[in-house]
Amino acid sequence: MRDLYRGLTLLAMDKVLRDEVTQLADMRYDNTIAVCSAFPDLRRQPVLAQLQQIDACFRKRGVFMSAYALAEINRWLLDGGVRFQTALDELRTALVEVLPPGTTPGALEAVGALISDERLLLNFRAGQNLSDDGFGITPQEESALRDSFQAGTAASTAAANIFRYGWQTSTCLSAFRVWDGMFHPNM
């Protein structure tokens, strides 16, 4: 998920990247997939060739993403449309001072996690450190994000709108503990 969180934040902060990826986003219908009312309609599937091109856009920026992350970004841009992109613009405006070029990957991941994990956001507002949950973030970045993501701020409002227009399900749970010397997938 860390790659997805970083990719989400980059979509907000790098308008050129977002424009490139938006132009590439595409879905196809797979009518061989059965429809079940208990689950989302899974007949809409990303176009593999488009995901590969989206992947190339992120790789140019040094970000390597899983197929799942690429498919989610593809879906968010298509399903969320203008409202999703407007919320990304609002987040960029709110965080332009907090996330300048050269921001650590951990800070980018933390922003994406704060958008998608309401429990993590509430704990962070209450004083929990993101670094304690495994995010490689500097104390200065963490302090700036804590100020930016307080309830009622422009960043927290934009984050709520990104979640509202991008997700089809309930909040993700991102909190995890990292112990030195242990193997951790997708980290």
Average confidence score pLDDT of the chain = 87
Q: What is the pTM of this model?
A: 0.84
What tokens were used for 151?
């309830």
Question: For the chain, what is the domain count?
Answer: 1
Amino acid letter, 70:
L
Domain membership of residue 177 (yes or no) is: no
Q: Does some domain include residue 54?
A: yes
Confidence of residue 187 (pLDDT cuts 50, 70, 90): very low
In sequence order, what DSSP letters do the residues of 118-180 get, joined into one string?
HHHHHHHHTT--GGGGT----HHHHHHHHHHTSTTSHHHHHHHHHHHHH-SSS---------T
Q: Which range of residues forms the domain containing residue 102?
A: 2-166
pLDDT of residue 104: 85
Q: Residue 115: what residue type? A: I
Relative orientation angle of helices 48-59 and 15-24, to the nearest 10 degrees: 160
pLDDT score for 177: 47
Residue 171 — very low, low, confident or very high, per pLDDT cuts 50/70/90? low
Q: Summarize the confidence of residues 73-87 as an average pLDDT.
A: 94
The predicted pLDDT at position 178 comes to: 47
Give the mean model confidence (pLDDT) for residues 63-87.
94
pLDDT in the model for residue 63: 92
Query: What confidence tier does 36 reach under pLDDT thresholds 50, 70, 90?
Result: confident
pLDDT at 184 over 60: no
> Which helix (H) or strand (E) covers residue 46, if one does?
strand 44-46
Evaluated on CA atoms 143, 148, 152, 155, the torsion sign reads negative
Q: Is residue 43 part of a domain?
A: yes
Assigned domain for 152 exists: yes
**Mean pLDDT score, 14-25:** 96
- Please indicate, yes or no, if residue 63 is contained in any of the structural domains: yes
pLDDT of the residue at 102: 77
126-139 confidence digits (pLDDT tens)? 999 998 888 899 99
104 inside domain: yes
How many Å apart are CA 104 and CA 94, to the nearest integer? 18
